Structure 1
Amino acid sequence: MLLNCLYSEFYEEQVFLDLLGLSSADWQSLLERRVMPAASYLFTNSSLCVSFFGQYQERELYRFHLKSHRRWFEDLQCFGLTQEQAAKAFFLSRFRNAKEAFRAGELGSRLHASYPEVLSAFDGDLEERTWGHFLNGTYGICTRDGQPDTIFQKQVGVRYVEKITETEPHWFPDDQLGLLRQTVDFLDGVESEFAAHEVSQSSRQRCIIDVRERYLAERVAA
């Protein structure tokens, strides 16, 4: 059930605000100053109650926030980030540091040596779009914790899997299977599971489930 999925990974907005110690006015101020991500899911619930006195209908809107976005709020508080410019600079610093750490790591260095054009696409325009998607709650849906580091890892994992699999399975070289498998596993570790109704449209389906089935499973079977 969708609601069970949402309550397991997300806080309903009033619970979220209570945990942060915020009033509704405080929360609205954070959103207007563009320093906190908005709700990742809006859920409308319609209910019908029937009794001796007749029927009663009720319609409610729930907003769900990724649980780990609480950490982002704590960082804002800790570092005194009260305006968008400062919050964005902090976000991009972590995003860029994740890029450098990835490039210096074993998997990242191998991928960069084979496909240098992928990391070069992580430019200012992409950073601007990423910040916008962060604020509108998108990364609460598609990453496990919605943090800047994880967002970079998700983005780069998707791009490398897409690049590697430009070669069709029947032409794919055996000596690249290990690299592809590592990249898919890396992406699997940072990308969310998605709600059941979303999976078929997601990068999890395209870059993890389908790639394992088309490129990796058949090689194991062979």
Structure 2
Amino acid sequence: MSLLTYLFEHFYSEEQLVQRAGISQKQLQLWQSQALVPLPAYRVMCKVSCESFFGEYQEQQSLSFYAKGTIDWLQQVAKLSDAEQAYAIFKSEYQQVLDKLKNVFGHEFFDTINLGDDHITSEWQHFLNGTYGLCTKSGLAHDIAVKESCIGVIKTLLAKQALNEHESNLLNTAVTMLDQASALFAPHERQGSSRKTYIDDVRCQFELSV
């Protein structure tokens, strides 16, 4: 699979994004400058060469790609007036997921992963930079919280010399949830991606089911 095939299959180009959201590119850029909307997950510079009956033609193109979940975020942003309100929504959604995951993994164990307010503030900046549009399926707070939490769980369990049955079950649960929230990653990224490290390699090492 080529890079462009992957991007057009799993993401919206900027043109597709604004068309589906019913906004202009100028409006998108304004919201980005106001720290309301994330930057693109990918920017691609293309040198296009064309041959036809009319001869050869070349041009440079710049393409931007966004996680498909960005549409949902744009719908929320349209009702807001500033970045503080946007962050409040992001933080609330993130925290709701953390509260649910505490019940999945156990409060005492989950609290050792250290996912407090400072962590969520840092995640907000990564969200705005487009980082999570690249490495999660939706690019939204829900998948981001699942991804970071499950990686924390997996790291904690891998640090143990041996796992008991309960811990093995927790590991399997964390890997499965991470798989559901994580992007596939572009072909050139996969070898060094978190998906390979915390999903593919862990499944292989512990013979976990897919």
TM (norm. structure 1) is: 0.86
8 Å CA contact retained: 1:49, 1:56: yes
CA distance in 2, matches of 1:206, 1:135: 25
Aligned partner of residue 81 in structure 2, secondary structure? coil
2:13 aligned residue: 12
Deviation digits for residues 107-144 of structure 1 (CA, Å, limit 9, x no counterpart): 222xx4345311xx112321121001111111111111
Aligned partner of residue 48 in structure 1, secondary structure? strand
Deviation digits for residues 144-178 of structure 1 (CA, Å, limit 9, x no counterpart): 1122122111110011101101135xx44455322
CA distance in 2, matches of 1:198, 1:148: 22
Matched residue type, 2:105:
G
Aligned partner of residue 43 in structure 1, secondary structure? strand
1:108 aligned residue: 105
Matched residue type, 2:111:
P
1:143 aligned residue: 136
Matched residue type, 2:59:
E
Is structure 2 residue 25 aligned with structure 1 residue 21? Answer: no
8 Å CA contact retained: 2:105, 2:170: no
Residue segments in structure 1 that go unaligned for 5+ positions in a row:
none
Alignment of 1:75-114 (within 5 A): 75-77=76-78, 80-103=79-102, 105=103, 107-109=104-106, 112-114=107-109
8 Å CA contact retained: 1:11, 1:65: yes
Q: 1:209 aligns with which of 186, 200, 203?
A: 200
Residues 99 and 172 of structure 1: CA distance in aligned 2, closer, same or farther (over 3 Å): closer
CA distance in 2, matches of 1:58, 1:92: 43
Is structure 2 residue 47 aligned with structure 1 residue 49? Answer: no
CA distance in 2, matches of 1:157, 1:81: 31
Matched residue type, 2:187:
A
CA distance in 2, matches of 1:115, 1:49: 55
Aligned partner of residue 207 in structure 2, secondary structure? helix
Which region of structure 1 is more displaced relative to structure 2, 15-24 or 207-216? 15-24
Deviation digits for residues 70-118 of structure 1 (CA, Å, limit 9, x no counterpart): 00111223xx212101111111111111111221x3x222xx4345311
CA distance in 2, matches of 1:177, 1:108: 12
Aligned partner of residue 197 in structure 1, secondary structure? coil
| Aligned-residue identity in percent | 28
Q: How many residues align?
A: 208
Matched residue type, 1:157:
C
Matched residue type, 2:198:
C
Aligned partner of residue 49 in structure 1, secondary structure? strand
Per-residue deviation, 1:50: 4.2
Residues 175 and 101 of structure 1: CA distance in aligned 2, closer, same or farther (over 3 Å): closer
Aligned partner of residue 63 in structure 2, secondary structure? strand
Matched residue type, 1:215:
F
Residues 199 and 188 of structure 1: CA distance in aligned 2, closer, same or farther (over 3 Å): same
C-alpha RMSD over aligned residues: 2.0
Is structure 2 residue 112 aligned with structure 1 residue 117? Answer: yes
CA distance in 1, matches of 2:191, 2:155: 16
TM (norm. structure 2) is: 0.90
Aligned partner of residue 38 in structure 1, secondary structure? coil
